[in-house]
């Protein structure tokens, strides 16, 4: 899966470890409408599980290794799980360059 060419990165999370990850990421959650999430693993291994809708059956399960990434499409229900003690990752969020979410987030950066 790829992110459309007219989408830009408007936000990036901190680097997450087992100790710092928000609990939300460990349970089923989804990206906003019109937003792609690019999960980038820095070290270790992260398991990504995608679901067929909220509380749905497992759609995909994929291991993301260090220096690899996986793209989660808009409104896709998923969760992650640390497979190794040294796992570190972050998420970049992408939206259409002229969208309200991009305008709002970029204006917050400039305040």
Q: Do the domain assignments include residue 1?
A: no
Q: Do the domain assignments include residue 53?
A: yes
Number of structural domains (the chain) is: 1
Identify the pLDDT of residue 108: 60
Q: Do the domain assignments include residue 51?
A: yes
Per the structure, the complete domain to which residue 99 belongs is given by: 7-108
Q: Do the domain assignments include residue 2?
A: no
Identify the pLDDT of residue 111: 45
Spans in the chain with pLDDT lower than 70 = 107-111
| Residue among 42, 34, 52, 45 at smallest CA distance from 97 | 34
- CB of 36 closer than 8 Å to CB of 3: yes
CB half-sphere exposure, 28, CA atoms < 13 A: 13
**CATH, residue 19:** 2.60.120.10
pLDDT in tens, 1-10: 899 999 999 9
Identify the pLDDT of residue 44: 98
Identify the pLDDT of residue 109: 55
- Residue 94: exposed, middle, or buried by beta-carbon count in 10 A (0-12, 13-18, 19+)? buried
């Amino acid at each position: 899966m790829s992110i459309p060419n007219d989408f830009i990165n408007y936000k990036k999370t901190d680097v997450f470890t087992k100790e710092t990850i928000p609990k939300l990421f460990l349970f089923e959650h989804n990206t906003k409408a019109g937003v792609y999430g690019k999960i980038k693993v820095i070290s270790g291994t992260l398991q990504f599980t995608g679901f067929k809708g909220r509380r749905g059956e497992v759609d995909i399960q994929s291991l993301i290794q260090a220096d690899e990434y996986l793209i989660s499409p808009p409104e896709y229900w998923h969760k992650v799980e640390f497979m190794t003690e040294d796992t570190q990752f972050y998420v970049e969020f992408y939206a259409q360059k002229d969208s309200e979410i991009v305008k709002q987030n970029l204006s917050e950066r400039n305040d």
